[in-house]
A and B are shown apart, each in its own frame.
Chain A
C-alpha cells in the first residue's frame, strides 16, 4: 500500500471531523470531532515517517496524542462547567461567557 492511500484516508477523516466541528450543535460531539481531526494528522505523520524512513514523524505523533489528551481533559471540564451553568450541552445556548 502506498502512502497516498494513507493521505487520502487522512484527508477524508479530516474533512469529516471538520464537518462535525462546524455543524454539530452538541458540544460533546464537537469535542469528539476534534479528536477525529487530530487522528487524521497522526495518520499523515506516521505515513510520512514510513515513507521517509525517519522516526521524527512518529515522535511528533506521540506529542500530538499528548496534546489531544490535554485538550480532551480541559474541553470536558469546560463542558461540565457549561452544563452546570445552563443545564445543556448545546452550543447555541451558550451565547455569553458570563454566568
Chain B
C-alpha cells in the first residue's frame, strides 16, 4: 500500500502512456479503419488522463469532449458513409514503409538519448501567471485558463472562432452532393 502511495503517480503515468502507445500502434497498423478509429479513441482518452496528471484539468476535459466526442463521431460517421466492403485494399503500406520505420526509430532514439543527456533539474522561472493562483488568490484551473485566454489571447481566440466557422462552411460545401 505504501508502495502505491509513493509511486502512484508514476504507475498512473506508465499505465496511461501504455494506453496511448497501444492506441497509436493500433491506428497505424490495423487494417480495418473502424478498429483504427476505436483504437484512436483509446489514445485520445489516455492523452486526456495524462493531461489530468499534469494538472491541466480544463485541457483534459476539452480533449475528452472535442476529440473523444466530436472528432471521433465525425470519423465514425464518415467510415460508415464510405462502403468498406468495396475497398478491398491489397496493400496497407506504401513500399517505403521499412525505410520509414528505420528512420522513425532512429529519430525517436536520438530524441530519447538527448533527453537522457539533458540536465535533471530545470530551473523554474517565475511566471506571470501561476498554474494555480491569479494575483495571490487561489483559482481553479478552468478559471485560470480562462483568465489567460480572454486577457492575453483574446484576438487569437476570435480568429480561432472565425477559422472554425470557415472550416464548417468548407466542410459543408465539400460534402455536398453535386
Which chain A residues have a beta carbon within 8 Å of chain B's beta carbons?
A: 1-9, 11-13, 15-20, 22-26, 28-29, 31-33, 35-36, 39, 42-43, 46-47, 49-56, 58-59, 61-63, 65-74, 76-81, 83-84, 87-90
Known: A17-B24, A24-B93. 18 other contacts (CB 8 A): A1-B10, A9-B17, A15-B104, A22-B100, A24-B28, A26-B33, A28-B75, A35-B40, A46-B50, A53-B124, A55-B145, A56-B129, A58-B58, A59-B145, A62-B59, A70-B164, A72-B74, A80-B81
* Across the A-B interface, the 5 shortest Cβ-Cβ residue pairs: A77-B174, A70-B167, A54-B127, A77-B171, A73-B171
Which chain B residues have a beta carbon within 8 Å of chain A's beta carbons?
A: 9-10, 13, 17, 20-21, 24-25, 27-28, 33, 36-37, 40, 43-44, 47, 50-51, 53-56, 58-59, 62-63, 66-67, 70-71, 74-75, 78-79, 81-82, 86-87, 89, 91-94, 96-97, 100-101, 104-105, 107-108, 111-112, 115-116, 118, 120, 122, 124-125, 127-131, 141, 144-145, 147-149, 152-153, 156, 160, 163-164, 166-168, 170-175, 177
Report the minimum CB–CB distance from B62 to chain A (whole Å): 6
Is A42 a contact of B47 with CB atoms below 8 Å? yes
A residues in contact with B105, CB < 8 Å:
15
Give B106's nearest chain A residue, CB to CB.
A15
B residues in contact with A11, CB < 8 Å:
107-108, 111-112, 115
